[in-house]
Amino acid sequence: MSAKEKINEIHIVTKYIDTLLTTGKPPKSIYVFSKELATEESEFYQYFSSFKHLEERIFALFFENAISVLEKNEDFGKYDSKNKILSLYFTYIEILTANRSYVLLALKSASNAFEYAKKLKGLKKVFGNFTETLDIDKIEINQETIEKFQDKGIQEGFWLQFLMIIKYWMEDTSSSFEKTDLFIEKSVLASFDVLETKPAKSIIDLGKFLLKERMNFKM
């Protein structure tokens, strides 16, 4: 990138990931990193307050990229909620796969659950914004407080499901991560069957799949 070219968020993130993967460690300082970007330190601060802030933003940027890809398909807006979230999961995993070296380095280096959550803080926010737009059939409860609790529970349930899918993909050794695709399909089918109060067959099917794979969901 030439010195005259104005940097943006994507430029900064791309260079940061490249530096991390090439050297195995973050840049020495924001000053040094800005020099490598051929820009002023103040330009970096227009987007991020620190490298930690930048790292929190990366997984959210991946998500925004996934949404952008999906919205290029005119039919996406016509999908029902089940197919919207299926499409999102598949697209997001494709983007993670394209950046697998960074994802594994970033998430496996988290020393505890708190640090893991911090790295995905930005992702959780944009994911929550997405799930709020889904038109999901719920059990009708004529009580506002309980309905709000139900909505919150559904959002948290999808977030947990999303984390499980990412974790499964990280540990998946199958060709082209085909087992992750199966896990996504079975998980989404089971979750929507629960919401539609007809869970038995799909949950048993998901349970058999997990038992067969002997998954370990330790974070």
Give me the mean pLDDT over the 175-203 stretch.
Answer: 82
Note whether 125 and 131 are within 8 A (CB). no
Q: Using 50, 70 and 90 to split pLDDT, how confident is the model at 219?
A: very low
Rounded to the nearest angstrom, the gap between the alpha carbon of residue 138 and the centroid of all alpha carbons in its chain is 25
Tell me the per-residue pLDDT of 125-159, one tens digit each, with 9 for 90 and over. Answer: 999 999 988 887 654 544 454 455 456 677 888 99
- CA-CA distance, 43 to 45, in Å (whole number)? 5
**pLDDT value of position 198:** 57
Structure tokens at 169: 């993909």
The DSSP 8-state label assigned to residue 77 in this structure reads: G
Its pTM stands at: 0.82
Tell me the per-residue pLDDT of 151-186, one tens digit each, with 9 for 90 and over. Answer: 667 788 899 999 999 999 999 999 999 999 999 999
Tell me the per-residue pLDDT of 46-95, one tens digit each, with 9 for 90 and over. Answer: 999 999 999 999 999 999 999 999 999 999 999 999 999 999 999 999 99
Residue 194: what residue type?
A: V
- CA-CA distance, 211 to 119, in Å (whole number)? 29
Contacts of 41 (CB under 8 A, 6+ apart): 30, 31, 34
